[in-house]
Structure 1
Amino acid sequence: MWTNNSREETKLHLAETESYSTGKIKPLLKEELKYYIQTRRMSEGKNELVVEFNKEFKKDRICLTIYKLRPNEVVKLKRRREQNRKASEKFRVKKKTELQTLQLLCQKLQQRNDELMKEVADLEAERDAWYCRLLESLHNTDLIDNNKTVPI
């Protein structure tokens, strides 16, 4: 499968030893995942995946590894980045439009609520005025006895 099986077995053994000594499964899991990916690629008739690590550096306490990409991988990466950039811009425009629409709707609903509250206040004032007029009318016609109340 690989060009140098003993080298790969050594890597697997080192990962196993490191996992056992540190009590973490990550090194062994990484090697196992690598073997799984390689096996799947080979069964699909693809070439072996080769990743060349050139150097490591730390930036803001995050270890980043730089490796050489193949030309077709560079094209795919650029295409994905461009698609992501366009999708992000489209999403931002859509969200901005939705926000503006919702703000406009909120403003209209607040205006409508203010109009309705004013109408309620006007109707309550009109009701109170009619009630007062009714009481005056009843009082003036002497239908109201001082000891009786008018049911409303």
Structure 2
Amino acid sequence: MEETSSTICEDYDGTKILEAAFVAMKTGSITPIIKQELRFIIQSRRLAEGKSELDVSFVPPVTTELTPEERIKKENRREQNRKASRKFRRKQTVLIHNVKKRMQTLSSENTRLTRELTTLAQEKHSLQEKLRSHLDVCGCVITTAVLV
């Protein structure tokens, strides 16, 4: 098994790594070297496990020219998508505006109710004090639940 691994090592150390190094120097990116190194590691592990060697190659997809009808159809789809996007953005803007407006209304209502609560609490306290002073003078008996 070590012989097979060293054969791959020689292949990778030889031409493929050198090619990757040349491409890396030409492009200014170390990506080709890293890819070759990873391929080497994967192949070595596969051979060490007794598996066969993988042949990984990239074939770029074949691009074909669009027919005039296909171009028109593609452009119509794009225009339809643009319109739908504009409509969606407008709808989102209106929704956000309505939510902000509702939030301001609720915030104002909350402030008003808080002030009213404070006023009512002060009024309650004032009335309780008046009732206590009346009870001191009058001598009437009232349960303490009223004074709480």
TM category (shorter chain) comes to 0.5 to 0.7
Partner AA of 1:81 in structure 2: R
Q: Secondary structure at the match of 1:109?
A: helix
How far apart in 2 are the matches of 1:150 and 1:104? 46
After TM superposition, the score normalised by the length of structure 1 is 0.53
Question: For residues 142 and 77 of structure 1, do their structure 2 counterparts lie closer, same or farther at Cα, with a shift above 3 Å needed?
Answer: same
Q: Residue 55 of structure 2: which of 12, 18, 21 is its match?
A: 21
Partner AA of 1:84 in structure 2: N
Give the CA deviation at 1:141: 2.3
Q: Secondary structure at the match of 1:21?
A: coil
Per-residue displacement from partner, 1:84-139 (whole Å, max 9, x unpaired)? Answer: 00000000000000000000001001111111111111111110000000001111
Partner of 1:79: 76
How far apart in 2 are the matches of 1:139 and 1:104? 53
Q: For 1:115-134, list aligned pairs within 5 A.
A: 115-134=112-131
Q: Give the structure with the larger helix fraction.
A: 2
Q: What is the alpha-carbon root mean square deviation over aligned residues?
A: 2.8
What residue ranges of structure 1 are gaps of 5+ in the alignment?
1-19, 28-50, 54-66
How far apart in 1 are the matches of 2:69 and 2:85? 24
What residue ranges of structure 2 are gaps of 5+ in the alignment?
1-53
Partner of 1:97: 94
Give the CA deviation at 1:21: 2.6
Question: For residues 139 and 74 of structure 1, do their structure 2 counterparts lie closer, same or farther at Cα, with a shift above 3 Å needed?
Answer: same
Say how many residue pairs are matched: 92
Runs of 4 or more off by more than 3 Å in structure 1? 149-152
Q: Secondary structure at the match of 2:66?
A: coil
Q: What is the percent sequence identity of the aligned residues?
A: 30
